[in-house]
A and B are shown apart, each in its own frame.
Chain A
């Protein structure tokens, strides 16, 4: 019997699992895949928290500012490179435009636009889904007072590969930057940039090296070698296209954090149902165990608490069948809020279907939308499984997931 069984290992599930384990609880995390973490840019968006709290039923209405701040501090605690700031910070997107973010690693935060200086974009040869010319024009437009130049570079280990016309993903490059050889190459390139631009006539010019995806923030000293030492010039990371090295290393880092704290893990396991009847009017509303399919076997897992973090439509927690004849939550078969209108004619608009999810009480326990009663006393729903929000137009994906995951762990 576990104190908590977390179903789903995305951002929300991991945060819940790590926090519960940190609190000394006996936790099991069951997940089928890695969720949307491999898409995660490394920047936590919280959005306009106060504004969103005025939207009826938005997940932020379940929390007070204290809860939200606690989640943010927790991120900072486990990843000290993350900076909490009063005002939103900015970073470069993969196209060199500027995007805001609320909680981001030091290495991504842009310098002041009022200052002057030079960006030197390091362009690793054959990097997939990266367009240096577009990036440079965008950077120059966003930072009028800055010079922008590029330096192409190659890594011997990849030269043959690239010559054949094969591209290299940013995840592969990140792995190289973590190797000794990679670091040597980077250090050498940066040194050359320094010589080229600083020895000249303008020794005072501020130079920043911009590198697509360095993933400095999740250096786990206990496992990987100390990565990137300080270089001779400041290095700025960009966020990248998907799949993102930030997400990939962050996922790995969270996993290590969790197991280091004694959390137990079942990966590649799919929770399929409850092992009991749905509660009727008078029965106890306590869930006892869930059934999980793992490696062809079916297991019953008992817990005092269950945290449902299966990620909604994208994570696979909610399935919508052909012609929408069936729409259901896959583990507890929870009642769902399903919007009447399904989509908006404009693609970039806030989409009604994005609001689909589980309605809960303040303790994130699932409600029956018709009767307004709690369905299960010991189930908490977190992250994208919650109803009434749209992470993309409201820019609060990480915020809702971290806040709800952390808060659920506090209830274990």
Chain B
């Protein structure tokens, strides 16, 4: 058993956890984050990718709306490299409730969400696929956010201030002594070794798993696990976030991301924190709803589907309501007050847009407990520094403008090394992933990071396998690099299988049209061209 000590243990490498790690580190408080999978293993990679302006909550939940618009403004400055400032539209359709429209405009006004009405002709010109049932369009500062990149920059920034994190390390139990939590026991999943961490405070930021963590100390916290499903289309159907202007409900938001569009969502309460199965009924239901904003939706190609679990806080008063009615605000539970045990705090609820604020509040609490009075600086200090123009120019010259822009966005401060590698050996500029334009040099670079332990980690790091081929071509093209990094043919085959299995889970619910053809080709490639062994079917 390995044993280490630190001042604060943060459980969970989602947006909330990494935000806390960065905040504590910037205040000079030594902290260690433990994550059972890779970063963003949970909800933070299974969400819609919308940086809310607050418009969605303007009528129902003015507190949430206000937090959103404030954080939206802050993140666009401190995390500009993770955000595409697309803006968003709220589209009012023929027959929708005009009273809601009035309330919405008032709500936005009250919490300070800037709204501009877009003339219809301009709207149809800018978004040609938008339904002609639209009668009014309002623009708000919605944007899209790359969750993985955001998380990554937070831990990188935290590291600069001395923060540490360990992935594939699962907390198994809390270390309790005399009515105090004095640390955690965790298992390092890759080696199987047990790790004991002594700390003064343990922060439970385990998202949908928070109840499981609290239960380790025998406590009950009310997290409602609310599953939402999303569909991924193969292209940018819209260039802005498109919301339907009505009482928030299912299937009313389209979010463009890089080369694809994500559409959703649904809402069902589930039992398990990792119930990521997408039901086929939900898909047909979503497609039907999608018709309202995008009439030709049936002709569009869906590449995959996925689901995430919202960790909603279920306060006592709200308990009898269904998922969407619960406030999206967050709470901090001091288990000393609640259950009489010191040293443990849980943060529950919230959304990705407000991760920084949540982290600030928890860190304030932790700092007060530890008697540290350094103020929070995460709202002012950017996550990254701007890259020098020479690196940009060189990258564009070597691999072309489109690919360079994407790479610089993904790599930012680390782009310099990759650009140099391509300059030295131009063939390293070949693409491993043609959809997302990921070069060999970038893959080699990503594989050097000790946190990248599988082809699937590589996917999250580089977006390889996220495009229309869903990993069929790019996992083949990554062969020499993964073989070099992980060693051995058997391991390589295992990595192919794991990545394709992960992708397959998202594809099977939408297995028709072009994606079905693509999948049939992928099967031919792996089972025939590469001659991998078939698996016995379960049925």
Binding site for B on A (CB under 8 A): 36, 39, 41, 45, 93-95, 97, 99, 126, 128-129, 131, 133-134, 137-138, 141, 162-165, 167, 239, 241-242, 313-314, 319-324, 341-351, 353-354, 391-393, 395, 397
Contacts and interface: CB of A to CB of B under 8 A. Distances in A.
Given A241-B476, A323-B512, 6 more contacts: A93-B529, A131-B480, A141-B489, A314-B517, A348-B500, A354-B523
B527 A348 contact: yes
A314 B524 contact: yes
B511 A343 contact: yes
B131 interface: no
Contacts of B526: 348
A320 B516 contact: yes
B530 A346 contact: no
Interface in B515-538: 516-517, 520-538
B429 A165 contact: yes
B495 to A, nearest CB: 13
B151 interface: no
B504 interface: yes
Interface residues of B, number: 54
A167 B527 contact: no
A321 B528 contact: no
Contacts of A321: 298, 512-513
A41 B525 CA distance: 11
Given A95-B530, A138-B489, A241-B476, A349 B536 contact: yes
B528 A45 contact: yes
Given A129-B476, A344-B537, A323 B500 contact: no
A345 B427 contact: no
A35 to B, nearest CB: 12
9 contacts: A128-B430, A134-B492, A242-B525, A313-B520, A322-B302, A349-B538, A354-B523, A391-B524, A392-B524
Contacts, number: 137
B427 A126 contact: yes
Interface string B407-446: 0000000000000001000111110000000000000000
A91 to B, nearest CB: 10
Nearest to B301: A322
B528 A395 contact: yes
B427 A165 contact: yes
Nearest to A45: B528
A351 B298 contact: no
A313 B523 contact: no
A393 B531 CA distance: 10
B520 A314 contact: yes
A322 B515 CA distance: 10
A324 B512 contact: yes
Contacts of B500: 347-348
Closest 9 pairs between A and B when the two form their complex, measured CB to CB: A165-B426, A349-B537, A392-B527, A347-B504, A99-B531, A131-B480, A393-B534, A348-B535, A165-B429
Contacts of A314: 517, 520-521, 524
Contacts of B497: 347-348
Which interface residue of A319, A347, A350, A397 has the most chain B CB atoms within 10 A?
A347
Given A93-B529, A129-B477, A392-B524, A163 B426 contact: yes
Contacts of B480: 131, 133-134
Contacts of A344: 537-539
Interface in B270-302: 283-284, 287, 298-299, 302
A152 B489 CA distance: 23
Contact of A343 (B477, B508, B528, B534): B508
